[in-house]
Amino acid sequence: MVLLTVAYVFNFVDRYILGLLVEPIKADLGLSDTQMGLLIGPAFAVLYAVAGLPLGWLADRMRRTVILGCGIALWSLATAASSLARNFGQLFLARVGVGVGEATLAPCALSMISDSFPPDRRGRPIAFYTAAQSLGAGIAALGGAAVLTWANSVEQLQLPMLGDVKPWQFTFVVVGLPGLLVALLLFLSREPARQERAATQTGASIAETLGFLWQRRSTYLSFVAFPLVMTTVAYSQTFFAALYMRTWNWPIERFALWSGLALVILGPITVNVAGWASDRLYKNGRPDGPVQVMLVGSALLIVMGIVSPLMPTGELAFGVWLFNLVGMSTVSAAAPIALLNVAPATMRGQVSALFYMVTSLGGLLIGPPAVGLLADYVFGATGIQYATALVPALFGIPVLLFAGYARRSYLAECETAAADANANRG
């Protein structure tokens, strides 16, 4: 659990760091907000999505620690290679490499966690693992602030084989290369035994998994809509360093410090409370408990996501955003708990891969490009606060209207999953 969580921390450090560097990269490479939105979102997401399902199929059959070790090595090297980019195309290719590497994590990690804990005890370990999202983003912010502060105080930065580099290039190298150590530890770690399969059962095929989900499409689509909105809002907020700089004249280092502290402290507390609440409701005879927790978090993140950028001062905006962060952390913890409680053991890796593929792909394809396009073509660069507020309003409010249906359909799926599990044990 600790090693998987550390891997997830590095995953989010490498994913989050580009958002912190929007303004200096734009200035040095001459890019627009739309291009930065494409780099943060689609460049990462497309092959992340394409690779997810085949990697989930492998995770149901092969040694997961090896698959994950290779993925961590790839995304770490691709992050460091971002420092070599001299134009939009080169940085786009580096982000593609990060996406392919990170696609290995979700199917392998959730499958191994499921094999290590029974259903009524999965909430807390999954919450512990999910805490890496806010920890990774927070460490990226704090580390990025420290690196940028130091780098900006040095007249000339030089790296072996690279020569003179800009502070943002130096930052990519510093946050990317340490991941290689985590990859090595994964290669050497023990593979947990696969559980909850009959002796004759093997991993389901991709066709079987897709057929299973298609038969239950209304249930899974209504459920996935809520974490999809969460990722859309979260990834749209990768422009927040630029928002605070343009709107309230906050230096990048100040925003990074404040947001990093909030993510490191508040995020882990929230996800662990959400995991505890999910387990408590489940044990008290509420199999839809994780979904109830997820729906409360969704309402909080959507409302506060709309209000925060519209505040008159950066301090007020940040205070409101803390409630938005609580909502996002709650959904990020409760959603995978709910998913694993109904996913069959023979296809858990593939279902997990598809879940993260859909939520990450949708969030990355919608969130950052939407803010970039709205800022460039509707509100202007100085109106970025309206662009960041409009994204949760457009995509979040309609989804909230289906909360009751999502809960009822999930509860029916819990009953079906329980009946199938009893039949397999029999």
Q: Tell me what pLDDT residue 339 has.
A: 83
**Listed residue (5, 39, 4, 3) closest to 19, CA to CA:** 39
Distances (CA, A) of 165 to 23, 93, 159, 288: 16, 20, 7, 52
d(C-alpha 25, C-alpha 165), whole Å: 12
Q: Is residue 197 part of a domain?
A: no
Q: Tell me what pLDDT residue 10 has.
A: 84
Q: Is residue 198 part of a domain?
A: no
Q: Is residue 196 part of a domain?
A: no
d(C-alpha 340, C-alpha 328), whole Å: 19
d(C-alpha 365, C-alpha 201), whole Å: 37
| pLDDT tens digits in sequence order for the chain, 426 residues long | 888 888 888 887 777 788 778 888 888 888 888 888 888 888 877 777 677 667 777 777 778 888 888 889 998 999 998 888 889 999 999 988 888 888 888 778 877 887 777 766 766 777 777 777 777 778 777 877 777 777 666 666 767 777 777 888 888 888 888 889 989 998 888 877 766 544 444 566 778 888 888 888 888 888 889 999 999 999 899 889 889 999 999 988 888 889 889 988 888 889 888 888 888 887 777 777 888 899 999 999 999 999 999 999 999 999 999 999 999 999 988 888 888 777 776 777 678 778 877 887 888 888 889 998 999 989 988 889 999 999 999 999 999 998 888 888 888 877 776 666 555 555
Cβ-in-10-Å burial (0-12, 13-18, 19+) of 257 comes to middle
Q: Is residue 409 part of a domain?
A: yes
Helix or strand or coil: residue 344?
coil
Q: Is residue 387 part of a domain?
A: yes
Q: Tell me what pLDDT residue 328 has.
A: 92
Q: Tell me what pLDDT residue 215 has.
A: 83
d(C-alpha 35, C-alpha 369), whole Å: 8
- Specify whether the CB–CB gap between 263 and 137 falls below 8 A: yes
Nearest-Å Rg of the Cα atoms of the chain is 21
**Listed residue (170, 414, 185) closest to 288, CA to CA:** 414
Q: Is residue 416 part of a domain?
A: yes
Q: Is residue 360 part of a domain?
A: yes
> Amino acid identity, residue 406?
A
Tens digit of each residue's pLDDT (9 = 90 or more) over 270-308: 988 888 888 888 777 777 788 889 999 999 999 999 999
Q: Tell me what pLDDT residue 341 has.
A: 76
- HSE (side-chain half, CA atoms, 13 Å) at 411: 12
DSSP state of 189: S
Count of C-beta atoms within a 10 Å radius of residue 61: 11
d(C-alpha 368, C-alpha 239), whole Å: 7
Give the domain extent around 68. Answer: 2-189+206-425
d(C-alpha 122, C-alpha 124), whole Å: 6
d(C-alpha 71, C-alpha 56), whole Å: 13
User: Would you state the structure tokens that stand for residue 95, as one six-digit string?
Assistant: 């982000």
Q: Tell me what pLDDT residue 198 has.
A: 43
d(C-alpha 173, C-alpha 160), whole Å: 11
d(C-alpha 147, C-alpha 78), whole Å: 19
Helix or strand or coil: residue 158?
strand
Q: Measured in whole angstroms, how far is the alpha carbon of residue 355 from the centre of its chain?
A: 11
CATH of the domain at 244: 1.20.1250.20
The residue written with tokens 């460039």 in the block is 376
Please count the structural domains in the chain: 1
Q: Tell me what pLDDT residue 418 has.
A: 63
d(C-alpha 343, C-alpha 364), whole Å: 25
Q: Is residue 195 part of a domain?
A: no
Q: Tell me what pLDDT residue 12 has.
A: 76
The predicted model scores a pTM of 0.73
User: Would you state the structure tokens that stand for residue 299, as one six-digit string?
Assistant: 């309402």
- Specify whether the CB–CB gap between 313 and 248 falls below 8 A: yes
Beta-bridge partner residues of 157: 165
Instruction: Encode burial over 83-103: b for 16+ CB neighbours within 10 A, e otherwise.
Output: bebeebeebbebbbbbbbbbb
Q: How many residues does the chain have?
A: 426
> Amino acid identity, residue 27?
A
